[in-house]
Amino acid sequence: MKNIKACDLKKEYNIIDLRTKGAYMKGHIYNARNIDMNNLTDMPHMYLDKNETYYIYCTEGFKSKRCCKFLEIMGYDVVNVIDGYEGFI
């Protein structure tokens, strides 16, 4: 699995925030979309394109790691933000 630190993200990346809507509204990485992890893993085809790369984060990187492993098995190009939102602030 590919990893990146939050400080190395670029604003043109496809960034997905797995945190709650409330946490997202309080602050998020620039240009990130908020998608519930259950929705993303249940119906990835509704949110992701297999021809794109997605950078996925949560609060500290644990939930995003599990999500990335699953999506990678499903054939998606994903990168885990290892330090999550905590690494961004």
Identify the CATH number of the domain in which residue 38 sits. 3.40.250.10
Q: How many domains does the chain have?
A: 1
> Is the residue at 38 inside a domain?
yes
51: how many CB neighbours lie within 10 A of its CB? 7
Q: How far is CA 9 from CA 14, 30, 59, 75, 88, in A?
A: 10, 9, 15, 22, 9
> Is the residue at 67 inside a domain?
no
β 2-4/77-81 pair status: parallel
**Predicted pLDDT at 89:** 85
> Is the residue at 11 inside a domain?
yes
Supply the pTM of this predicted model: 0.95
> Is the residue at 32 inside a domain?
yes
Contacts of 42 (CB under 8 A, 6+ apart): none
Domain that holds residue 18: 2-42+49-59+72-83
**Mean pLDDT, the chain, integer:** 96
pLDDT digits (tens, 9 = 90+) for 24-66: 999 999 999 999 999 999 999 999 999 999 999 999 999 999 9
> Is the residue at 31 inside a domain?
yes
